[in-house]
Chains A and B, each alone.
Chain A
């Protein structure tokens, strides 16, 4: 039985986020459905783009594409194996399917179909999946804590973990320009807007130093880059100078940028990811550093190797150490 933590006195009781809920914090700057709008934009100039989903069009922002291009939208029913097998067949006929579902269903239920019909045949299918890592309060059925590990292990697969709406808009045309299978984690609905303030430009396979700092290097992907930037501001108040290297492409990994930053002396290196501690960005970076004889003080912020609890996301992010406050607290502890 899971232990139930009683609500902190004085704090409002948080409800579990509903199906359509956003990852954005209250009052945060957001943009609606960046993937859906970017795909519509792409599809105007690329007639081979088609959209497929398995009964989750509305919940992966694909409904925006469906409304604009109804004859290029394929509802495959709640059948994820069929979804990805059919996407492979469409790609075989020269189309570029963007095939959406939740990350749990693509990574766990349809894995062999993606492995054999898409990755092995190097088909030009873009697998775009909502609710990556811990972005749902519904419990393990909807929490894809291991999606990056699974897709990293698959040959031919490009794996991308975007941070915000600004980046998702740039990723859509970038993965269309790349021929081959791509797994992209999707943030849907009202998506936080963060990187626009940093003059950021996504480049496939490239990491990007968003912020420089002398004391700590955070290497992060996805929403953890947002958390790292917030934590860096908080830590600056304690005179801790934090650099943030954003690594949206988990595979292929930007070895050069990671090694260049990790080699700079005197910094604590922390990898932060919205993913189980097994097999994700943290272990990928650790292995790269070991193989390259680079040995900084190294720590990981990641989800524990356990079935995660159901509940409200802010509570869960605190409990599992991936909220801004928890990121800052852990780093301060390691610096003592």
Chain B
């Protein structure tokens, strides 16, 4: 949680709603974006940024912050939405999303954006960097933790499993990974591209502490983060979050599933309206 949070801070569900709203507004600005993924991961990001992580919005490189590595760079729209909600990126910059000279390019890069700790997009990189950061933080005697988010599709990449073995080998208890299992890759359902189940068994066999959770159930996500953070054993930990693409905007939840969901120009306003309506109901 931000060190500057207030007693009467918005609830996690309000945070998640605002993250979705920021993402939809960026999608509208550019007329495109990985919006279905952003909507599916908003609850996890709300818990990460407003319950689990330590950081200072006004000082994104604060030495004692928890690190957050976005491995799936195309989820940048989701992370920007969370960083805006967290006050790390000014809300006005939302209008610049994906335009020339913007600090918010469509695929996340460390050199562009405050709060973006790695250049993702070439999928499979994040966990290896996280291992190095985890080792580095331990070497410094730091209490900071490394969170890293990646997608189920990235499990296809061999490097992920190199890093899985390495994190367990080095007993990186300061490493908390999150897999977004939305079962959608570029060419179709993840499980049809390269089957990865039984995922919990696999990860446990690799030496990780695992919690699998409905990634769109905020209370359950909170419990999963708490369990992984407080787990006392010297091992890396991972949250497997099963999510629904387009979550929070019913007509997008029900749209035929695609890696890059098409949203017509007039539909962005509709999506925002549905999001708000869902929040009132």
Interface residues of A (CB under 8 A from B): 50, 74, 76-77, 79, 81-82, 84-95, 97, 112-113, 115-117, 120-122
Contact = CB atoms under 8 A, between A and B. Distances in A.
A89 B119 contact: no
Interface stretch (B90-98, B157-165, B217-225, B238-246): B157-165
A82 B162 contact: yes
Q: Which DSSP category, helix, strand, loop or mixed, fits chain A's interface?
A: helix
B30 interface: no
Residue of B121, B125, B136, B158 most packed against chain A (CB within 10 A): B136
B119 A117 contact: yes
Contacts of A120: 109-111, 119
A117 B129 contact: yes
Given A82-B163, A85-B125, A86-B129, A121 B119 contact: yes
Contact of A81 (B119, B135, B162, B169): B162
B119 A90 contact: no
A90 B136 CA distance: 5
Contact of A82 (B109, B133, B136, B166): B166
A94 to B, nearest CB: 7
Contacts of B130: 89
Contact of A86 (B109, B121, B132): B132
B133 A92 contact: yes
B133 A117 contact: no
B139 interface: yes
A88 B132 CA distance: 7
B140 interface: yes
A92 B169 contact: no
Contacts of A112: 122, 125
Interface in B59-73: none
B168 to A, nearest CB: 11
A86 B111 contact: no
Nearest to B69: A89
A83 B165 CA distance: 12
Nearest to A82: B162
A11 B185 CA distance: 61
**Among all A-B residue pairs, the 5 with the closest Cβ atoms:** A89-B132, A85-B128, A93-B136, A86-B132, A89-B133
Contact of A95 (B131, B136, B159): B136
B146 to A, nearest CB: 8
Contacts of A91: 132
